[in-house]
Amino acid sequence: MSMFRLFAGRPAAPATAPIARERLQILLAHERGLRDHKPDLLMLLREEILAAVSRHVALDPDKVIVRMERGKNVSTLEVDVELPNGLEPALAVAS
């Protein structure tokens, strides 16, 4: 990439800036969530989603992940609920 690398005679240090950028994006998404909403909004959402799904399906509470990504124009709420296999009929009945 750089001229220096051709003549340096030692392997170039890996680029660390992309790591810095990614760490900041994740951290700030979280901190902006805390700042712009009630501190426990995500916790609250997670609990209510867990309760709603648990009324119909037995699931592992650790497998319910609620994440907020704050962007410049649009923010997204990501809900990831992992269900054990073999529960599809129960779900169908419940709905």
Asked if 74 is part of the footprint of other proteins (rule: CB under 8 A), the reply reads no
**Taking CB under 8 A as the rule, does residue 7 contact other proteins?**
no
Residue 53, judged by CB atoms within 10 A of its CB (0-12, 13-18, 19+), counts as middle
Stretch that binds other proteins, among 1-9, 39-47, 61-69, 87-95 (CB under 8 A): 1-9
What radius of gyration, in Å, describes the C-alpha atoms of the chain?
21
Q: Which of 7, 10, 17, 74 binds other proteins (CB under 8 A)?
A: 17
Which secondary-structure segment (H or E) carries 17?
helix 17-36
Q: Provide the greatest CA pair distance for the chain.
A: 69
Residues in contact with other proteins by the rule CB under 8 A: 1-2, 4, 12-18, 20-21, 23-25, 27-28, 31-32, 35-36, 72
